[in-house]
Amino acid sequence: MSTQDSVEPTGTWEVRRRFKVPALANVADAMAVERAVSVLSGVRKVATDLRKQQVVVRYDASQSAYQVILEALEGSGYPPLKTWWERVKGNWYQFTDANIRDNAKAPPPACCNKPPK
């Protein structure tokens, strides 16, 4: 079980996402969730909070995606809460992750107000 203090994004494309997981009941559950999510590509840090029944994931959005982490949680037997607010947040997270991936692939802008050659 990790603390959430070290989950702040540090890189250019890193994001922090929170998942409310009602099935988190003990330390063994937290360790299983951390193992399932931490092996994914681009995941930098996974922290669980048993008191809040919450999983916080810091990942590089240019390498991974919200949907991939969501599927890993569901596949490990710990599905996140499915309320209308969680769906709205999830759609927003997917939209911003797609923008991050597109921006990471974009060529660098022209320098010093000069048009590209």
Residue 1 has pLDDT above 50, yes or no: no
pLDDT of the residue at 49: 93
Fold of 5-81: Alpha-Beta Plaits (3.30.70)
Mean pLDDT throughout 82-96? 94
* pLDDT tens per residue across span 32-83: 999 999 999 999 999 999 999 999 999 999 999 999 999 999 999 999 999 9
Residue 115 has pLDDT above 80, yes or no: no
In the chain, where the domains are located? 5-81
Could you please report the per-residue DSSP string of 77-117? Answer: T-PPP--HHHHHHHHHHHHHHHHHHHHHHSPPPPSTTPPP-
